[in-house]
Amino acid sequence: MADKLNFYSLKFYIINFLILEFFLVNAFTTTNLLLFYVFFESVLIPMMFIIGIWGPGDRKIKANFYFVFYTIAGSALLLFSIVVIASDFGSFSYSNIFEPCNVFILNKRLQLFLWCFFFLSFAVKVPMYPFHIWLPEAHVEAPTTGSVILAALLLKLGGYGFIRFLPLFPYAYSFFSPLVFSLGMFSVLFASLAAVRQVDLKKIIAYSSIAHMNLSVIGVFSLTYQGIQGSLFLLISHGLVSSALFFLVGILYDRYYTKLLKYYGGLVMKMPTYSLFFFFFSIANLAFPGTSNFISELLVLIGISEKNISIMILAASGMLFSSVYSI
């Protein structure tokens, strides 16, 4: 009987991941704003089950509450904005709305309001300060595979939204760029300093994810070729490196049932091959020269330097903190 229950539990677990994959593929490929919203919101449902049922921690209900509340609060504004845009253009099709002759139809004041609503929705997903609280909780309480999907794909919905939809409001895009730079830089520094003082391995990786994602957002809003290319590359690189680190921490948890850093001193003596992999992905996470994170962050810094040298210096200091918490 126990084996039968385990089989159905595993079956439901895999079904949730397949449904999540379906929603993510459609969210990244649809050109209809209303369908994008539907799939953007629908990823909550399977992820909520994955954290709430198979999460190993005692705070998974609280983590689920944070995850759902923050995302729905931001997405309600997104739905309102999409309806307003469709009422003006008479279509939900992205290609019709983004035609050069249509982009400037919206008056400047309306652009400012709609841009803010879109921005808040995607800022929660990235996440940016002060909408970041749900991410460390969700990562710590999620099973290993849930953390991998969360870091590699779900966070990228926010970055994708910034690149794909915010150019619909060109006036507001340039008007709010200084605000985004300031908020992004504060998020990078805050997340890096928060990661330094963490003792939970998953929380360290979660806060480093916040720092890397916000650096990518700054690159997008630099509106330079190098900055945008670096941001795209950083989104891909972060998905690979952070996923690998979550897998490695999951291996430790499955064996020793703790994620606290203090219990793993001298691990290289017990698991030398494992330690080699952990070392490699740790230096990749801190953007060591020769790794994908280094190339992408260097491109972002070059792009930012064309706009503002002081922001570039602050971003580089965030990379310095990443070496502290990684080592």
Under the banding of pLDDT at 50, 70 and 90, the label for residue 102 is low
Q: How far apart are CA 161 and CA 125, in angstroms?
A: 9
Domain spans in the chain, listed from the N-terminal domain onward: 1-175, 176-327
pLDDT in tens, 179-219: 888 888 888 888 888 888 888 888 888 888 888 888 888 88
Under the banding of pLDDT at 50, 70 and 90, the label for residue 260 is confident
Q: What is the 3-state secondary structure (H, E, C) of 111-159?
A: HHHHHHHHHHHHHHHCCCCCCCCHHHHHHHHCCHHHHHHHHHHHCHHHH
Under the banding of pLDDT at 50, 70 and 90, the label for residue 150 is confident
60 Cβ contact list (under 8 Å, min separation 6): 51, 52, 141, 142
- % of the chain beyond a pLDDT of 90: 2
Under the banding of pLDDT at 50, 70 and 90, the label for residue 18 is very high
pLDDT value at 153 more than 60 = yes
Contact 69, 131 (CB under 8 A): no
Contact 179, 308 (CB under 8 A): no
Under the banding of pLDDT at 50, 70 and 90, the label for residue 3 is very low
Neighbours of 326 (CB within 10 A): 20
